Chains A and B, each alone.
Chain A
Amino acid sequence: MVLLAAALPLHAQESPYIVTYDHYLEEPGSLEVEYFSTFGTQRAGNDFHAFWAEFEYGATAWWTTELYFDGQTTFNDSTLFTGFRWENRFRLLAREHIINPVLYIEYEQTSGADKILKEVEGHDVEADYAVPNALARQEHDHEIESKLLLSSTFAGWNIAENTIATKNVTGGNPWEFGYAIGASRPLALKASAQRCSFCPENFIAGVEMYGGLGDRYSFGLHNTSHYVAPVIAWNLPSDWTLRLSPGFGLNDNSHRFLLRWGVSREFSGFGAAVSRLFGGRQ
């Protein structure tokens, strides 16, 4: 908290995506603190509210590192801490191109009760989430997740495509695959001259779609779940960003409805504050 107090709020133009990644990384030295919620309906089980806190730090202009802490409440069941994730994104090309690649590597240590649905992969289906917490928490997953993030910006639009490959290193689980795609655009491209909260350029709207693609032994759409979700972000001049996304399952294997929302604030100078703590010069 002391370090955050030493850092300054920084206004950022945050993307509205909750699952999809574009190619923009955190500004160097800045820390973004985020909270996200996912409410999900569950057939043959109890609805749930999953949540995660996210600490996203711009180590350099080409490397962003993030730490997540996940939890969930299943109605009529219990509330659990379900694990953590350490994510790193590396910008592969120095300049902007028509398609900009970013390499994503994540290590996650979660229990089988994790329900944040930050990505959908392999044969993840709704029925997996109907298991009671007491049983699901006994499964411990150690996963390495890699993604190739491709993203383009044209005429104010951002188009992002993510391909996912995940390996659960516990047991003999096969590589699992998934995808996420998104498109978004600010409501206005030109900035107004006045500082304002409700200016259309502060709102970015779009849509994302994500789902599983099976695994190494059964690649494809069979027994997979898929979602489409409109997204909107409101970048406030007071350095806060709010996001909202209702998601809809596209087949019988998907949750019928997911409602996601999030709030974040970015702090610049966090890295410098840490450096001073370790005796670095200002």
Chain B
Amino acid sequence: MRLQSSAVALLLTLGVALAQAPSKPVAKDNSVYAELAKAPKRAAARRNPFATDPDAVAAGGKLFGLHCAECHGDMAEGTKKAPSLFADEVQRATPGTLFWLLTNGVVRRGMPVWSKLPEAQRWQLVSYIKSMTLASKPGDADPPHPAPH
């Protein structure tokens, strides 16, 4: 039993190490945004029901801090694990496209599906992401507020 337990522990450790082997920085890889173009037209055309909700951006910012900032960065500037959300590809995308991407994730590239968040919360996240166009990118004179944790 002790030998088998050790073997399991070794396998797990190796699996963890291999799964986390250093990968290319995705923030500089424009192909990570290609998934946005795969949104079906019908999904891309969906409108954000929270577009006029005055609290949606703040609520989305809170959700971003809780669920997204760890990979995308506190200010959505991108990290080695996930791309910047200030990229033109993201900011030009329709709300429906961003909602579709959040719902489906990009599983092969490491982004989980976020349909576990209720639809309303995914739309609130979209409101927050789209609000970034109004703010300055990190490093500019008037940086956006970091997402609250």
Contact = CB atoms under 8 A, between A and B. Distances in A.
A281 B106 CA distance: 24
A93 B148 CA distance: 33
Interface string B91-105: 000000000000111
A275 B110 contact: no
Interface stretch (A72-80, A120-128, A186-194, A253-261): A186-194
A67 interface: yes
B66 A237 contact: yes
Nearest to A27: B112
B116 A13 contact: yes
A20 to B, nearest CB: 14
Interface stretch (A33-41, A54-62, A223-231): A54-62
A188 B72 CA distance: 26
Nearest to A158: B116
A8 B70 contact: yes
B118 interface: yes
Nearest to A189: B118
Given A29-B81, A156-B119, A24 B20 contact: no
Q: Decide if the interface of chain B is mainly helix, strand, loop or mixed.
A: helix
B59 A190 contact: yes
Contacts of B58: 193
Given A29-B81, A67-B8, A237-B66, A94 B16 contact: no
What range describes how many residues of B lie at the interface?
Answer: 35 or more
A19 B19 CA distance: 27
B19 A13 contact: no
Contact of A109 (B1, B15, B115): B1
A191 B116 contact: no
A65 interface: yes
Interface stretch (A45-53, A168-176, A206-214, A266-274): A266-274
A94 B107 contact: yes
Interface residues of A, number: 53
Given A11-B67, A191-B62, A193-B58, A59 B107 contact: no
Given A10-B70, A61-B110, A275 B22 contact: yes
B115 A153 contact: yes
Contacts of B63: 191
Contact of A61 (B21, B70, B112): B112
Given A10-B70, A96-B115, A156-B118, A271 B16 contact: yes
A268 B16 CA distance: 13
A13 B55 contact: no
A274 B116 contact: no
B117 interface: yes
A22 B118 CA distance: 15
A28 interface: yes
B12 A94 contact: no
A58 B107 CA distance: 12
B133 to A, nearest CB: 20
Contacts of A195: 62, 148
Nearest to A107: B8
Nearest to A61: B107
B37 interface: no
A94 B35 CA distance: 12
**Shortest beta-carbon contacts, A-B, top 4:** A271-B20, A193-B58, A189-B118, A59-B19
20 contacts: A24-B113, A25-B112, A60-B19, A61-B105, A61-B108, A84-B5, A91-B107, A153-B116, A156-B120, A186-B118, A189-B118, A191-B62, A191-B120, A193-B58, A193-B62, A194-B62, A195-B148, A237-B66, A272-B20, A280-B20
